[in-house]
Amino acid sequence: MISQNRGRTKFYQYHSNTTNLLFVLVRYLRRNFPTPRILCFLLVMTSAPVGMLACQRDSFLRQLKAKVLSCVPAASAAVSSGKSSTAAPAHADPNTPSSSQGTSLYEITFSDSVLFPEGGGQPWDLGTIAGHSVHSVVRKGDTCVVSLPAPLTVGDDVEMTVDWDRRVDHMTHHSAQHVLTAVVESELKLPTECWSLTHPYCFIQVPAASIPAADVTRVEQLCNRLIADGVPVVCETYPSRSDLPAARSRGIPADVTGPLRVISIPNLDSCTCCGTHVSNLAQLHAIKLLHQEAKGNTCRLYFVTGPRLLSAFGATYDREKQLVKALGIHAQGILGVVERKGTQLAESEKWSKKLLAEVAKLTAPQIAANAAACAVSPFFFHREDADMDFLGVVAAELAGKCPAKLCVVAAGSLKEPDSGMLMIVGESPAAVTAFADRFMPLVGGKGGPSKLGFRGKCDMRKWKAALKTIATATDTVGAAAAPLPASSTS
């Protein structure tokens, strides 16, 4: 758990203090003097700007009471993600709600916010406001805008609560990224081009095809040494761009005027940043550098830290125990056994495919004979353990022996989704296409023309119901053929 020892964080408090004084003044004026309402309105219609939000002044703050300043219906229910241009596209975050299409949303501003608006590569916070789950938190200019599924009354004081686990995950990985970026740049002379707070692992992207394993190990050791030493993380806030000291920066959005923040790790790094951070690197616990992923002339170096690192290790250990039990071996022997099993499986699948091809050659003539003898059309054949190669052999035999008959051959389990495949052959391409257009929706399938007629994939759980529908509609589907070993027909 993140320690509540917040350390020293330097920031300006003038805006927050002024806002609180204004609210006190308004209440006093309303109670004791006939103050014009417009004056009271103007006094309270002020909000902490992005850069001075409560969540940025104190990343460990979990709750806040704030005043509703405005509330308007959102232009679209699917609120823009507002991704920072300096961040790489993120993988799906399982904790982020999906777009609320069809649900009314309201864009609301407050006097202050304990919820961080997306920026600097860090996703927005989640939580609740007045009991409503937050949909998104974005920055518009210097203003923090929260989207909720319900309107709030302007002037009301409401309670904000942040999703603490998500906050900790974001600020630990964001601070770890600053450390990793600084060490990689100082030790390997590789600047970070972009980074992404992704799931299950985060990454930085650097201008190199790959990083040697020895360098990765050295960087990881240096990062963990800084964490073990409990180096402080210092936040300094500046009124405008002209006041900023020399600091590393991947760019400040043009519509951000100030205040601006610089996050510093003494004797290592100073960087402009709007995100939430730990106050001491010891709060990261440790950092683990993982795999690399090549992207042209660049590579992504993945990492994990904080509570997510402990969760990842726990899940890995549990999987190892399950493998040890399933394989009946010691943990040290897992890799060798899995490699042998993989080789054996590949050989088994190779022989199975070969044998299935032989079965197709032997049974295709009998299937074609059954189709020719069948008085009804279409003729249907299904074999659960067949594959597309098997179906191709059977379809070719049917096309040669029964060119005037419409035939459907299929494979796949009748109990599993997305396992089905089929081919349709017949007297003409037009007849095949017409029947496919009618039949494929019944089996939840998709496909297109092939050399023999039509081929596609389908949901075999719908196979029997589809045959009944065809039979009811045309009164032509009956017992199409006598059963063959390991096959079924309708």
Domain 356-489 maps to which CATH number in 3.30.200, 3.90.25, 3.10.310, 3.30.1820?
3.10.310
Convert the chain into a string of H (helix), E (strand) and C (coil).
CCCCCCCCCCCCCHHHHHHHHHHHHHHHHHHHCCCCHHHHHHHHCCCCCCCCCHHHHCCCCCEEEEEEEEEEECCCCCCCCCCCCCECCCCCCCCCCCCCCCCCCEEEEECCCCCCCCECCECCCCEEECCEECCEEEEECCEEEEEECCCCCCCCEEEEEECHHHHHHHHHHHHHHHHHHHHHHHHHCCCCCEEECCCCCEEEEECCCCCCHHHHHHHHHHHHHHHHCCCECEEEEECCHHHCCCCECCCCCCCCCCCEEEEEECCCEEEECCCCCCCEHHHHCCEEEEEEEEECCEEEEEEEEHHHHHHHHHHHHHHHHHHHHHHCCCHHHHHHHHHHHHHHHHHHHHHHHHHHHHHHHHHHHHHHHHHHHCCCCCEEEEECCCCHHHHHHHHHHHHHHCCCCCEEEEECCCCCCCCEEEEEECCCHHHHHHHHHHHHHHHCCEEEECCCCEEEEECHHHHHHHHHHHHHHHCCCCCCCCCCCCCEEC
Domain range annotation of the chain: 356-489
Res 33: pLDDT:
55
Res 79: pLDDT:
40
Q: What angle do CA 421, 422, 426 make, to 5 degrees?
A: 170
Burial class of residue 286, CB neighbours in 10 A (0-12, 13-18, 19+): middle
Alpha-carbon distance of 184 to 300, in angstroms, equals: 12
Contact by Cβ (8 Å): 267, 233? no
Q: Which residue has the tokens 């600084």?
A: 182
Res 475: pLDDT:
53
Q: Over the chain (490 residues), what is each successive 10-residue block's mean pLDDT?
A: 41 39 46 50 66 94 96 68 42 52 84 93 95 95 94 96 97 97 96 93 96 97 97 92 83 83 93 94 97 94 97 93 88 87 90 90 93 89 93 93 92 89 93 94 94 93 92 56 37
Res 253: pLDDT:
83
Q: What is the pTM of this model?
A: 0.69
Contact by Cβ (8 Å): 231, 223? no
